[in-house]
Amino acid sequence: MTAHPVAKGSIARAARVLDALASMPEGASLGDIVARTKFSKTTTFRILASLQDVHYVVQDPQNCRYRIGLKFMGIAQSAGRTSIAALADRAMGRLAELSQDTVFLSVPEGAASVCVARKLGSFPIQTLTLDVGDRRPLGVGGGALALYCSLSRSERAAVNRVNQSWLSEYGFTAAFLEAQCAAFPENGYAINDGRVVPGMSAVAVPVLAPNGRPVAAFAIGAIGERMGTERVQSLLLPALRDEAVQLAEKLDEMGIGTPA
């Protein structure tokens, strides 16, 4: 089946307008978008109207500036999470085979940590503390704590202000999370010692962008008896760190998930 030339052109023009808006996150006037796209005012206005109809673009009623809508941003976020999970799949398989325990991949989203992938190991007692799609406050759980500790002090303070009531649902406080971060700058990993689900522990490392910002976190979860210091230090952490570095390199090469 051959592509309809008009439809193909319409999609390309809409994409060009969205690209222009993405480069102007503060909002753009019709004239700004015309200047970026080189389309006529009539064509640009028609494309913007169509994008508004499907809520991919919104217009501020006060200053009439256009911005990318939350619906489109949600699609972009979902695509980014899916891409990261796909790129991490083999790494998670290797970690699950090595540890025989459950491997989780989480990504930051605002003040939350979202589980985007999970791989089960062969050990008879499996750790199923997170399903794909589950959200927790940054800092609650192994991967979420690795992401939290990778932020600057001011960013963590902002996260805790937003999450104050949410953290209390898990019996957590900002002071407790800050205490967990004390050794992170030197060690580079986070430990959840059964604080979220009694008897279930996890060790996690962040996946960092070139600018040092956390893009994701690998975590291995198991029953507490399998999280002894020797096993964590000699077996789990070297593997986690190696896979985190490799995934960071892949993401950087593809330009996926790099925070601003």
Q: What is the pLDDT of residue 258?
A: 53
Q: What is the pLDDT of residue 4?
A: 38
List pLDDT tens digits, range 173-225: 999 999 999 999 999 999 999 999 999 999 999 999 999 999 999 999 999 99
Q: What is the pLDDT of residue 79?
A: 65
Can you say whether residue 165 is alpha, beta or left, with left for phi > 0 and alpha for psi between -120 and 50 degrees?
alpha
At residue 62 the predicted structure's pLDDT band, cuts being 50, 70 and 90, is: confident
At residue 2 the predicted structure's pLDDT band, cuts being 50, 70 and 90, is: very low
Which residue intervals of the chain bear CATH 1.10.10.10? 5-68
- Averaged pLDDT score across all residues of the chain: 90
- Intra-chain end-to-end CA distance of the chain, in Å: 41
At residue 239 the predicted structure's pLDDT band, cuts being 50, 70 and 90, is: very high
Is the domain spanning 5-68 CATH 1.10.10.10? The answer is yes
Name the percent of the chain lying above pLDDT 90. 75
At residue 111 the predicted structure's pLDDT band, cuts being 50, 70 and 90, is: very high
Q: Out of 3.30.413.10, 3.30.450.40, 3.60.21.10, 3.40.50.2300, which CATH number does the structure's domain 77-254 have?
A: 3.30.450.40
Q: What is the pLDDT of residue 61?
A: 77
**How far is CA 252 from each of CA 46, 54, 125, rounded to the nearest angstrom?**
36, 32, 36
Distance CA 2, CA 224 (A): 58
Which residue intervals of the chain bear CATH 3.30.450.40? 77-254
12 exposure class (CB count in 10 Å sphere: 0-12, 13-18, 19+): exposed
List pLDDT tens digits, range 119-167: 999 999 999 999 998 999 999 999 999 999 999 999 999 999 999 999 9
Distance CA 209, CA 226 (A): 30
Contact between 17 and 47 under an 8 Å Cβ cutoff? The reply is yes
Q: What is the pLDDT of residue 257?
A: 57
